[in-house]
Amino acid sequence: MRWSPALSLLLACAAWPQLAAAKPIQIPHEEFTLDNGLRVVLAPDHSAPIVHTQVWYHVGSKDEAPGRTGFAHLFEHLMFQGSKNTPGEYFTPIQEVGGTLNGTTNTDRTNYFETVPSRYLPLALFMEADRMGALLDVFDQAKLDNQRDVVKNERRQRYENPPYGLVWVDLSAAMYPEGHPYHHATIGSHEDLAAASVDDVSGFFRTWYVPNNATLVVAGDFDPAAARALVTEQFGWIPSGPTPVHATAAPVHLTESRKIVQYQKVPDRKVWIGWHSAAAFQAGDAEMDIASSLLCDGQDSRLYRRLVERDQIARDISCSQTTRRLGGMFLVEATAAEGHTTDEIVAAVDNELALVLGDAPPTAEEVSSAVTSYKVGAYYGLQTIQGKATTMSGYMDLLGKPDGVQADLNRYLKLKPSKVLKALKLVVDAPRVELHVLPQADAPAGGAL
């Protein structure tokens, strides 16, 4: 049975009475700030005997200094190597009580999270507080050397060795000028990682890993009063630091389009077409989400019907509106079908976009279907305790408040086809970057370009 927005909406309505009744989405919670600046959100949910905690540090690779790339991601590893009162691998105590944990880093933020049985909330909070306040007490050259090698090996395994692994690195470098916070990849470079000293890395931690640059969200099965007292006890002793200065940048506008052709050890011909788009929550951001959906989501989407089903020049095609704090990127990615080229794909994409912008603009039905899919996704993201915590943490990071679900959703609910069309035209009429990654067999006789 084919999955459809209508079926998704029906199931979501069954699971979420709020959606069926069209009531505003509200996640019960309370919010407070410790004297040291740590912002805390408590969201009780007694649907399962577990508690999920998330600590978000408002720092990502965009905040790294020139010549010191990869530090934000490096700390995603160092934070699991033990602190003053929790020596050894951070994973062990959490996993021994049946919990799970991890961390992630991107250009704008770094987060750490764990899910534990309810009675182990004190353990989770103690360990998070200890590494926030006492990690540097036991940080040394051996730990840096060990995790630096791990990160460099991760770069090889995830970026340099797999087919198409360096695409995002190359796109970032091509889309953003040297010195822009998004020019370099979050993983960093081998050279910068090798040059990092204990003092460099410690300085990064003292600048960014301070309670006044962090948010703690606790969701799940707990008593709010007891949790509030526990958070205050565990985190209140950590001193705040100077207010960090985050990276800023004016919106980027390419002066001319650029085509990059690479010949590599890859099995298929693939192409990525990237345009600059709106930053998170700015005008045009939601519109490009909907444009992405009507162009590429599902077999009824414009580009899928044209390139995959009708012309059969592509095996697959996808679109995405990647939104970040300092600017977004609208990306079309496709794999050429056997016997066809990426140039054919680009020409067909351009032709279809011209139709969307001209004689065949987005319809009310297409926009409504895309908005429904987004609405269902918003509700699905709240069906687990971890999903709620992640959602609230994300809004705290971008909006400074945890209850942004309904306000975010309202951006989509009010969209009309004319607004989607206007935003799409503004994006795709501007210069862009094409990245063609082709098999080495396609290289011209004179050698690879």
Of the pLDDT bands very low, low, confident and very high (cuts 50, 70, 90), residue 23 is: confident
Of the pLDDT bands very low, low, confident and very high (cuts 50, 70, 90), residue 293 is: very high
Phi, psi of 4 (to 5 degrees): -135, 155
Rounded distance, CA 284 to CA 288, Å? 6
CATH architecture for the domain at 258-442:
2-Layer Sandwich (3.30)
Task: Give the CA distances from residue 199 to residues 141, 196, 203, in Å, rounded to whole numbers and listed in that order.
Answer: 10, 8, 6
Asked if residue 21 lies in contact with residue 88, where contact means CB atoms within 8 angstroms, the answer is: no
Q: Minimal CA–CA distance to 96: which of 106, 109, 86, 84? A: 86
372: helix, strand or coil: helix
- Average the pLDDT over 97-103 and give the result: 97
What is the residue type of 31?
E
Is the pLDDT at 446 greater than 70? The verdict is no
Of the pLDDT bands very low, low, confident and very high (cuts 50, 70, 90), residue 2 is: very low
Q: How far from chain centre, in Å, is Cα 262?
A: 27
Q: How far from chain centre, in Å, is Cα 244?
A: 22
Is the pLDDT at 8 greater than 90? The verdict is no
Question: DSSP H helical segments within 51-120, as ranges?
Answer: 71-78, 91-96
Is the pLDDT at 19 greater than 80? The verdict is no
What is the share, in percent, of the chain residues with pLDDT greater than 90?
A: 92
pLDDT at residue 447, rounded to an integer: 53
Q: Minimal CA–CA distance to 318: which of 376, 270, 385, 366? A: 270
pLDDT at residue 22, rounded to an integer: 59
Is the pLDDT at 442 greater than 70? The verdict is yes
pLDDT at residue 24, rounded to an integer: 86
Rounded distance, CA 425 to CA 354, Å? 9
Q: Residues 343, 344, 346, 350: is their CA dihedral positive or negative?
A: positive
- Average the pLDDT over 135-156 and give the result: 96
From its phi and psi, is residue 88 left (phi > 0), alpha (psi between -120 and 50) or beta? left
What average pLDDT does the structure give for the chain?
Answer: 93
326: helix, strand or coil: coil
Rounded distance, CA 290 to CA 417, Å? 9
The tokens for 79 are: 């934070």
Q: Minimal CA–CA distance to 121: which of 44, 51, 42? A: 51
Query: Among 3.40.640.10, 3.40.50.170, 3.20.20.140, 3.30.830.10, what is the CATH number of 28-235?
Result: 3.30.830.10
Is the pLDDT at 10 greater than 90? The verdict is no
Rounded distance, CA 413 to CA 371, Å? 7
Rounded distance, CA 144 to CA 141, Å? 5
The tokens for 167 are: 């695409």
Asked if residue 102 lies in contact with residue 108, where contact means CB atoms within 8 angstroms, the answer is: no
Question: Within the chain, which residue ranges are assigned CATH 3.30.830.10?
Answer: 28-235, 258-442
Q: Convert the pLDDT of each residue in 222-242 to its tens digit.
A: 999 999 999 999 999 999 999
Q: How far from chain centre, in Å, is Cα 430?
A: 25
Asked if residue 387 lies in contact with residue 43, where contact means CB atoms within 8 angstroms, the answer is: no
Is the pLDDT at 274 greater than 70? The verdict is yes
The tokens for 42 are: 């408590």
Q: Convert the pLDDT of each residue in 361-414 to its tens digit.
A: 999 999 999 999 999 999 998 999 999 999 999 999 999 999 999 999 999 999
Q: Which residue has the higher pLDDT, 175 or 445?
A: 175
Rounded distance, CA 38 to CA 305, Å? 50
